[in-house]
Amino acid sequence: MSLENLLLDRDGAVAILTINRPPVLNALNSATLDELRRAVLDVRHDAAIRVLIITGAGEKSFVAGADINEIAALRPAQGKEHARQGQHLFELIENLGKPVIAAINGYALGGGCELAMACTLRLAANTARLGQPEINLGIMPGYAGTQRLARLVGKGVALDLLLTGRQVEADEALRIGLVNRVVPRESLMAEAKALAAEIAAKAPIALQYIIESVNRGLEVSFDQAQFLEATLFGLVASTDDMREGTTAFLQKRKPQFSGS
Ligand code: COA
């Protein structure tokens, strides 16, 4: 696959996708969104990849949002279409079937914050700054930022961030639950790779079903969510990895999960 705006690297069972437009702080134009969709689909279908890390190129930025040059030129009907495309892509990332770790190396603003929120886990450098500044441009988030932010940090804090457009530093992002962990900037990628390797050694089907159970379960009634969880439990309890995991525990050895 030829990629102009992304880098896709492999490190064992971990793939690393780097948004690579440093002159515009890795802003997402349509070409980049399109490449991201193709790269993410490739990762989805490659069973040897167990975990995906998404990060940004350069020292300053994860992703500084949608490309404002393109946003400025949108006509009304195009705006809706643009938002729907972004929403579909981020939904694909949220439900990729394997864990996705955002390694937030700097600004994660607008579409960048929305991209990070679509990932399964968020690891932030202590220099990271996150926010939804769309209101300052006279617009609003369009890649499901109003929805994922409210679900992650609660309605009150989400409305504060969405209506003021203010940026939060890494420590505040951690306190409000917008990121999972904060690490020194210089060790961000090492920490992201270590976390990815730790998760990559676990049973892939169980990982997939846990993510599905949380994501889908939050969108339906508690009763339906419990039913979904029990159904997925039934499936995971029929896997080879269930037998391996339980046998390894009883034999006091480390499990070797095959993904079947
Ligand atoms: N779209 C297009 N270009 C962008 C961009 C975006 N979202 N974010 C930054 N850039 C460009 C800048 O226009 C600038 O280009 P130039 O060198 O040709 O002037 C370059 O990236 C560097 O950005 P600059 O603003 O000079 O860096 P800074 O350190 O002073 O500020 C930010 C960094 C992130 C605070 C600032 O760039 C910013 O506010 N960006 C927009 C964030 C935003 O509103 N995102 C939501 C978009 S819907």
- In tens, the pLDDT along 101-116 reads 999 999 999 999 999 9
pLDDT above 90: residue 144 = yes
Residue minimizing CA distance to atom 3 of ligand 1: 24
pLDDT above 80: residue 90 = yes
Residue 254 CB burial class (10 angstroms; 0-12, 13-18, ≥19): exposed
Those residues with Cβ within 8 angstroms of residue 156's Cβ, 6 or more apart along the chain or in another chain = none
Query: 204-217 and 222-236 are packed helices; what angle lies between their axes, rounded to 10 degrees?
Result: 170
Q: Is the CB of 64 under 6 A from ligand 1?
A: yes
Nearest alpha carbon to residue 37 among 14, 19, 51: 19
Residue of 114, 169, 191, 244 with catalytic role:
114
Q: Region 29-54: what's the mean pLDDT?
A: 97
Q: What is the DSSP string of 208-259?
A: HHHHHHHHHHTTS-HHHHHHHHHHHHHHHTTSHHHHHHHHHHHTTS------
Q: What is the pLDDT of residue 76?
A: 80
Q: What is the pLDDT of residue 111?
A: 98
With pLDDT > 70 as the criterion, what percentage of the chain qualifies? Answer: 100
Q: What is the pLDDT of residue 189?
A: 98
Q: Is the CB of 128 under 6 A from ligand 1?
A: no
Residue 3 CB burial class (10 angstroms; 0-12, 13-18, ≥19): middle
Within 13 Å, how many C-alpha atoms sit on residue 172's CB side? 11
pLDDT above 80: residue 146 = yes
Mean pLDDT of the chain: 97
How many residues in total does the chain contain? Answer: 260
**Band of the pLDDT at 239, cuts 50, 70, 90?**
very high
Residue minimizing CA distance to atom 34 of ligand 1: 64
Pocket probe for ligand 1: among 5, 19, 20, 24, the residue whose CB has the most ligand atoms within 8 Å is: 24
Q: What is the pLDDT of residue 1?
A: 73
- CA distances to 10, 31, 71, 143, 246 from 76, rounded to whole Å, are 40, 20, 11, 16, 56
Specify whether 219 is catalytic. no
**Residue 246, token pair as written in the block:** 């339980």
* Cα 141 from chain centre: 16
Q: Region 190-200: what's the mean pLDDT?
A: 98
Residue minimizing CA distance to atom 4 of ligand 1: 24
Pocket probe for ligand 1: among 19, 63, 68, the residue whose CB has the most ligand atoms within 8 Å is: 68
pLDDT above 80: residue 37 = yes
Residue type, 104: I
Those residues with Cβ within 8 angstroms of residue 157's Cβ, 6 or more apart along the chain or in another chain = 176
Residue of 134, 172, 219, 244 with catalytic role:
134
Specify whether 229 is catalytic. no
Q: What is the pLDDT of residue 255?
A: 96
Q: Is the CB of 110 under 6 A from ligand 1?
A: yes
* d(C-alpha 143, C-alpha 165), whole Å: 16
**Band of the pLDDT at 77, cuts 50, 70, 90?**
confident
Q: Region 217-245: what's the mean pLDDT?
A: 97
Q: What is the pLDDT of residue 226?
A: 98
pLDDT above 90: residue 150 = yes
Total-model pTM: 0.97
Q: What is the pLDDT of residue 86?
A: 96
**Band of the pLDDT at 66, cuts 50, 70, 90?**
very high
